[in-house]
C-alpha cells in the first residue's frame, strides 16, 4: 500500500448568466510538462488576485492491472461512447472530447442523456477537452437541465480519475503515474469568495463585506443564511429566523429548494445547503443544486458549508460533512485561506448511446 500525491492546476472562469457556453476549470496534471507547476493567469478568472486552486490527487491503493480504455477509442458517427462515474452518488457521464474544443453533445442533448427515465441518467455530462493557456486538459460540464456551472467539486474528482483511464496510467511507481487507482481524491478548491457582489447576492453585507447569518424571506418563512462562493454561488442555512436548528431530514427539499434557487436576491440563481450540526467537527447537509435539483452530493456545497459554519461559529476548520451519498472531509486552512476537499471518485459502467 502506498500513497502518492500529484498536483493539478485549475483556472476558474467568470460566470454572468445561465445557461452559457464557456470553459470550466483548466487542469494541468503535469503528466508531460512539469514546468507548468505555476499556471498562467487566465482571462476567464473571476478575480485575478485570487490564486487558482491547486488539486492534489491522493492514491491509497495497491498496484493493480491497468484498465482497458480501448472501448472509448471506437469512433462511430452518431454514437456517443462514455463512462459513467460518481462521487458519493453525484453521477456524471464522462466524455472523451480531447480532439475538439467543441463539446460532442449540445446542452439539449445533454438534458436527454441525463434523463433518468428516457436516457442514461446523470446529474451532468463532463467533457475532457484539449488544454488551453499552457495546460494539458480543460473540463466543461453541462448540468441535467442544460445549464453550465462554473465549478463542480465531485465532478473534478471524477474528471481526474477519468483522465487517468484515458491516458492508461497505473500503479504508484512515480508521481507521473499516480492517477489510475484512486480511492480518495484530495482537491485544493482555492479561497472562498465572501464579498456579497462577487458571490453574487443582493442581500446587504453585514460582516466585513460578507453576508453572514442574514435574514432572507422564502415562502413566508424567515431563514438565517450565509452566502459563499466556491467559484459558484451557495446559500447556506443552519436555522430559521426563530433560531430553531434544522433537522435536515425533515426539510421538504423539492418544495423549498427551487424557491431559494430562483430568489430575487440571487441574480445568478444559487445552490442551497440545509445544515444540521452534530458537533464542531461533524455536520450533515442536504443540497438543492442550481440546475440539477436535489442531488446525493455536492462538493463545492460541502466546502461552502464548512466556511459558513466557521463564520457562524458552529464548527472548527476541519470537519466531516455527511451528505446523502456519503461523507466528505473538508478543511478550511487558516494559513493559506484555501479550502481542501477529500472524497472518492468511482467508475460505474461503460456505455454507448445514439445521438
pLDDT mean for each 10 residues of the chain (355 residues): 35 34 34 26 30 37 45 78 94 94 95 96 94 81 92 87 75 28 70 97 97 96 97 96 91 96 97 98 97 93 98 98 96 96 91 92
Together in a domain, 134 and 204? no
pLDDT given at position 38: 26
Active-site annotation holds for 158:
no
Look at residue 258 in the predicted model and tell me its pLDDT: 97
- Tell me the pTM: 0.73
What number of other Cβ atoms are within 10 A of residue 202's Cβ?
Answer: 14
Same domain, 174 and 299: no
Choosing from 152, 158, 227, 303, the catalytic residue is 152
- Which residues are bridge partners to 84 per DSSP? 93, 349
Q: Which of 331, 252, 290, 13 is nearest to 146 (CA)?
A: 290
Q: Do 183 and 41 fall within a single domain?
A: yes
Residues 168 and 262 in one domain: no
- pLDDT of amino acid 183: 53
φ and ψ of 169, to 5 deg: -85, 145
- Cα distance between residue 272 and residue 252, in whole Å: 13
pLDDT of residue 169: 54
Same domain flag for 139 and 180: yes
* The pLDDT of residue 160: 81
| Same domain flag for 350 and 315 | no
Same domain? 149 vs 250: no
The whole-number pLDDT of residue 70 equals: 60
Residues 65 and 180 in one domain: yes
Residue 180, pLDDT score: 33
Question: Can you give the pLDDT at residue 62?
Answer: 36
In which residue are the cell numbers 441535467 written?
144
Block residue for cell numbers 461503460: 350
Judgement on whether residues 83 and 230 belong to the same structural domain of the protein: no
Domain that holds residue 156: 2-189+345-354
Task: Please tell me whether residues 84 and 154 are part of one structural domain.
Answer: yes
- The number of folded domains in the chain is 2
Q: Please give the grid coordinates belonging to residue 93.
A: 457521464
Residues 43 and 102 in one domain: yes
Q: How far apart are CA 305 and CA 236, in angstroms?
A: 6
Cα-atom radius of gyration of the chain, to the nearest Å?
19
pLDDT value at residue 161: 82
Q: Which of 114, 227, 235, 298 is catalytic?
A: 298
Question: Catalytic: 152?
Answer: yes
The three grid cell numbers given for residue 80, joined into one nine-digit string: 456517443
**Residue 28 near residue 39, CB atoms below 8 Å:** yes
Which CATH number covers residue 237? Answer: 3.10.310.10
The answer to whether residues 276 and 152 belong to one domain is no
Amino acid at each position: 500500500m502506498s500513497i502518492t500525491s500529484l498536483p493539478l492546476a485549475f483556472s476558474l472562469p467568470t460566470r454572468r448568466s445561465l445557461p452559457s457556453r464557456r470553459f470550466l476549470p483548466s487542469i494541468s496534471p503535469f503528466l508531460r510538462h512539469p514546468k507548468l507547476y505555476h499556471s498562467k493567469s487566465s482571462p476567464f478568472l473571476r478575480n485575478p488576485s485570487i490564486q487558482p486552486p491547486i488539486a492534489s490527487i491522493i492514491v491509497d491503493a495497491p498496484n493493480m492491472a491497468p484498465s482497458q480504455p480501448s472501448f472509448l477509442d471506437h469512433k462511430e458517427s452518431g454514437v456517443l461512447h462514455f463512462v459513467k462515474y460518481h462521487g458519493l452518488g453525484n453521477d456524471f457521464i464522462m466524455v472523451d472530447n480531447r480532439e475538439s474544443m467543441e463539446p460532442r453533445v449540445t446542452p439539449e442533448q445533454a438534458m436527454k442523456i441525463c434523463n433518468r427515465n428516457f436516457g442514461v441518467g446523470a446529474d451532468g455530462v463532463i467533457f475532457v477537452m484539449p488544454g488551453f493557456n499552457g495546460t494539458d486538459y480543460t473540463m466543461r460540464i453541462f448540468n441535467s437541465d442544460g445549464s453550465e456551472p462554473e465549478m463542480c467539486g465531485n465532478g473534478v474528482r471524477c474528471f481526474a480519475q477519468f483522465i487517468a483511464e484515458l491516458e492508461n496510467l497505473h500503479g504508484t511507481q512515480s508521481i507521473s503515474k499516480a492517477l489510475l487507482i484512486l480511492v480518495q481524491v484530495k482537491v485544493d478548491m482555492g479561497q472562498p469568495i465572501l464579498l456579497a457582489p462577487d458571490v453574487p447576492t443582493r442581500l446587504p453585507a453585514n460582516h466585513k463585506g460578507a453576508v453572514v447569518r442574514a435574514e432572507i424571506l422564502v415562502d413566508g418563512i424567515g431563514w438565517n443564511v450565509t452566502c459563499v462562493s466556491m467559484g459558484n454561488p451557495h446559500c447556506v442555512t443552519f436555522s430559521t429566523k426563530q433560531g430553531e436548528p434544522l433537522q435536515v431530514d425533515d426539510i421538504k427539499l423539492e418544495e423549498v429548494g427551487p424557491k431559494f434557487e430562483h430568489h430575487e436576491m440571487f441574480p445568478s440563481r444559487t445552490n442551497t445547503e440545509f445544515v444540521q450540526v452534530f458537533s464542531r467537527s461533524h455536520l450533515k447537509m442536504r443540497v438543492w443544486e442550481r440546475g440539477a435539483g436535489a442531488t446525493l452530493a455536492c462538493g463545492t456545497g460541502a466546502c461552502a458549508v464548512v466556511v459558513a459554519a466557521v463564520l457562524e461559529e458552529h464548527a472548527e476548520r476541519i470537519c466531516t460533512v455527511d451528505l446523502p451519498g456519503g461523507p466528505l472531509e473538508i478543511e478550511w486552512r487558516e494559513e493559506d485561506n484555501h479550502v481542501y476537499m477529500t472524497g472518492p471518485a468511482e467508475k460505474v459502467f461503460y456505455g454507448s448511446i445514439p445521438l
